[in-house]
Amino acid sequence: EVQLLESGGGLVQPGGSLRLSCRGSGFIFSSYAMTWVRQAPGKGLEWVSGISGSGTNINYIDSVKGRFTTSRDNSRNTLYLQMNSLRVEDTAVYYCAKELNYYASGRGSDSWGQGTLVTVSS
């Protein structure tokens, strides 16, 4: 059974940093692209970032470029999202999701984590 377990969320002040982790199990982690999606309270889903299976191809939504960094450690079956210079508008539940393919994020995610809440507030 495919499982994705996120961790690292919490309360942080504006300008602060957090690192989210997402550990995968039940599948060959390195064979799939991975995606970060967030959902602000009462709002819709927003694609944040994606990374190919090898870690070579990475992209971000414009609003987080230069502040967030996505990476993966295939030896540890773990996906990361380093979030710096956090803003109030980054407050959301952050989900990691496994893509259906190896090459690129955004083509369809068949397994999702339970989500981790990031609250940016003073």
Partner 1 sequence: QSAPTQPRSVSGSPGQSVTISCTGTSGDVGGYQYVSWYQQSPGKAPKLMIFDVNKRPSGISDRFSGSKSGNTAFLTISGLQADDEADYYCSAYAGRYSGVFGGGTRLTVL
Interface residue list for partner 1 (CB under 8 A): 33, 35, 37, 44-47, 50, 52, 57-62, 95, 97, 100, 103-110, 112-115
- Cβ at position 87, least distance to partner 1 in Å: 19
Nearer to partner 1, 19 or 107 (CB): 107
Least distance between partner 1 and beta carbon 2 (Å): 12
Rounded to a whole number of angstroms, the minimum distance from the CB of residue 95 to partner 1 is 6
Q: Which of 5, 3, 6, 4 is nearest to 118 (CA)?
A: 6
Give the burial class of 108: count Cβ atoms within 10 A of its Cβ; 0-12 exposed, 13-18 middle, 19 or more buried.
exposed
